[in-house]
Structure 1
Amino acid sequence: MALLQYSSEPISRCGGAIINDRWILTAAQCINSAGPVKVLLGDLHPATSTDDHFQHPPRVYNVEKTVKHPEFRRVVRGNGKGIFNDIALIKLTERISISPVMKPLCISDSSRPASDLDNQEVFVAGWDATEFAGPTRSGMQWAYINVTRHAQCQEAYYRVGTAVDTTHVCANGEDVRGGVDLCTADRGGPLMRRGQRNSRPTWFAAGVVSFGRACGDVNFPGVYTRVDSFLDWIGCTVARN
């Protein structure tokens, strides 16, 4: 997990994920004139100095370059409104010190079809509020949720004039308090799923937090940019830079 930091308030407003020792995966909407200028890694409680790993303390890295997907677009009017190709990469000025608490999230899984996501259990994390319009939490929150059947997600958003296409994946959960979901300041963070690589359990990036309707509404799953739709772009961008 990565927390992006900007040159203006609010300083922290988006998440991301380490994908190798130099690059962070995030959402294109998280890139703007204020940054990000820095990336905070290894910090569960950014507002305090407690509850962090003693041997591998949090560290701030400077940003060298940001690259938005060239076809990123936000449509705000009409029945086809929505956010599309919402993915970006951040290159850091120096290599990340990979450790047990700061290590890459894999972005592909050759052992199984990445398209078979419907109804799978996935994992989300972030530092935002735990209820709509509630206070932002100082500590990282996390949850297991389920990938929503794609047609069901499309139908729900179609009713409010928002488009969900094949480059999106939707997910949410439900517990005794209501819907389990991510919220606004969790944008850019990863949707993660378990898989296998070389017969070892491994975490893979299934999506990038993009948009939703309110937070935690069981009728409207969170919408994520589907990472396996952009593997070529990710690989080419890293190779060119």
Structure 2
Amino acid sequence: MKILDRLLVLSPFTFVSGGLIRRRQTEQRIFKERIIGGFRAPIGRFPYAVSLQSPDGALFCGGSLIAPDVVLSAAHCAGGSYDVVIGRYDLGSGEGDVVPMQREVTHPEYNPSNTDNDFNLIFLDRPTTAAVAIVKLNKESFVPSAQDPVTVMGWGDTAQSDFVQELSDILRSVQVTVVSNDECAASRGWVGWFNYQSYEGSITQNMLCARGSNADSCQGDSGGPLVVEGSDPSGADDLQVGVVSWGIGCANSEFPGVYSRISAAYEWIRSEVCSRSSDPPSYFQCYSVEGDSPVPVPLPSATAPLSAFTATTPPPSPRDGWADILEENFDGNFGQFNAGGVDVMYYPSVMKRNGVVRIQNNGEGSTLYSNKLTLDRSFSRFRVTFSFYSNSMEIFSDSFCLDVMADEAGWTEEKCWLSFFDFRNDQWYDETVEFTVGRADSLRIRFRCAATSEYDDVLFDTVKLEGYA
């Protein structure tokens, strides 16, 4: 039930460099990208609110500064290269500090199918030079309670209609009221004339709901903060309780906005920030306990490059047994792959990714297949890791498949991924699949679109093939 998270989709077609990606607007669940019913935020009141901007300077999501070199945002905003703009109240101005994103760490239990644990930590290329307050994160699961007032903020379209855009360069905020998860899960009603929707089964304990009178966050505001306001006009004692995530409609009287609940991910956020940030906030108490004495956790030098300490797992070594056979990121066209059939397209940049290839159904379906790969040793098994994005694939009927050819002996279907059960439209996925082929001197892999319409597309960003000796 999701519409594309990082593009405003106002027509059935989205134009991109190199061609046309087609999409249908049949789903009503959307990621939040604008403030409805709010007002211009007081200058300097929410300095920790930041904007995420693509290389062309376009806002696509929000976030909050939680350490001088760390921003908290939504997992559904992750992917691609972008800048974080800190301390810029008016996006039309040149104020503030623009810092490149260095690394993203999404919540390990983020589920793109139901948007559970929609958290993304963005580690910056350097600490910000902007003199702004960071926001403190909520640790207590019972804060806030139902009926408590909370405030959400962001930049973007201020019109409630999905067919009108009224963009604002100025940071806007609006106060909404917390709704219990039970009441939120019971939400149901009509969206438009013929579309009856329900939150039943969609609200988890990792989510928090809030609604206002003709007030809401909606489509640009994704990843932004939901806070309990403190008394300090600089925002220094505000408490962030949620991250803008998703909802049905915008300011719909039947459906509250849904936010990721900070307290549910607090210990994960604290652990990641303590181990990766050059200047974690003091309230995180980044130390361990040995005996009866607190022992500081070793932290990297503030002058050390972030790349020196951001790896969560070391790269595979020969002792792991896995050896690289093929790795293609499509930065310079098809690379080690070939196009099969018509309607195979290469995009230098699309959907916030650089170097993307597309296959689609065209009657027989188009394919993307690798060169013949000579195997210099005997492998007992193989694994393929790849990033993909589907567009307009119809649930229960459309799929795409991975085929394998050993020693040029013909294609064998290895695995297929079915729409709805294995993936949803309009979001990037990272997938890994293992397989065996027996003794072989050469190998090819192929991705094949097995859909039902010429509008059904599958995009690929990176593909890696490894063998286990």
Amino acid corresponding to residue 52 of structure 2 in structure 1: L
Taking structure 1 as reference, are residues 116 and 209 closer, same or farther at Cα in structure 2, changes over 3 Å only? Answer: closer
TM superposition shift of 1:96? 1.7
- Secondary structure in structure 2 of the residue aligned to 1:238: helix
How large is the Cα RMSD of the aligned pairs? 2.4
Contact 1:67-1:90 at 8 Å conserved across structures? yes
- 1:122 is matched with which residue? 150
Q: How far off its partner does 1:47 sit? A: 2.5
Shift of 1:108: 2.9
Pick one of 114, 124, 137 that aligns with 2:168.
137
Instruction: Pick which of 229-238 and 134-143 moved more.
Output: 134-143
After superposition, what is the alpha-carbon deviation per residue over 1:64-104, rounded to whole angstroms, capped at 9, x for unaligned? Answer: 111111111122xxxxxx311100100111112352xx220
> 1:194 touches 1:201 (CA, 8 Å); kept in 2?
no
Asked if the contact 1:45/1:139 (under 8 Å) is kept, the reply is: yes
Shift of 1:30: 0.6
**Percent sequence identity over matched residues?**
26
Indicate the SS of the match to 1:95.
coil
Task: Kindly indicate whether residue 89 of structure 2 is the aligned counterpart of residue 44 of structure 1.
Answer: yes
1:106-142 deviations in whole A, cap 9, x for unaligned?
0136xx7644421111111111212232322222111
**1:240 shift after superposition:** 2.7
Mean alpha-carbon deviation: is it higher for 227-236 or for 131-140?
131-140
Aligned to 2:52: 4
Q: 2:116 aligns with which of 45, 67, 84?
A: 84
1:170 and 2:170 are equivalent in the alignment: no
201 and 239 in structure 1: CA distance in 2 versus 1, 3 angstrom threshold: closer
User: Structure 1 residue 155 and structure 2 residue 186: aligned?
Assistant: yes
Could you list the per-position Cα deviations for residues 147-178 of structure 1 after superposition, in whole angstroms to 9, with x for gaps in the alignment? 1122110111683555001110001211xxxx
Q: Is residue 234 from structure 1 mapped to residue 269 from structure 2 by the alignment?
A: yes
**Per the alignment, in what secondary structure is the counterpart of residue 109 of structure 2?**
coil
If the length of structure 1 is used for normalisation, what is the TM-score?
0.81
Native 8 Å contact 2:65 2:72 kept in 1: yes
The residue number in structure 2 matching 1:22 is: 69
Question: Which of 223, 231, 234 is matched with 2:258 structurally?
Answer: 223
Please tell me the residue identity of whatever aligns with 1:172.
R
Structure 2 residue aligned with 1:79: none
> Unmatched 5+ residue regions in structure 2?
1-48, 189-196, 277-469
Which of the pair is proportionally richer in strand? 2
For CA contacts below 8 A with separation 6 or more, give which structure has more relative contact order: 1
| Structure 2 residue 152 is matched with structure 1 residue 93 | no
Give the counterpart of 1:180 among 215, 221, 229: 215
Equivalence for 1:54: none
Instruction: State the alpha-carbon separation in 2 of the partners of residues 13 and 147 from structure 1.
Output: 26
Q: Is 1:106 aligned to residue 136 of structure 2? A: yes
Gaps of 5+ in 1: 50-56, 76-81
Give the TM-score taking structure 2 as reference length. 0.43
1:117 and 1:201 map into 2 onto residues whose CA distance is 22
Cα distance in structure 1, aligned partners of 2:55 and 2:211: 32
SS in 2 for 1:229: helix
CA distance in 2, matches of 1:84, 1:190: 17
Give the Cα–Cα distance (whole angstroms) in 2 for the partners of residues 121 and 87 of structure 1: 22
> In the TM superposition, what is the alpha-carbon distance from 1:234 to its structure 2 partner?
0.3
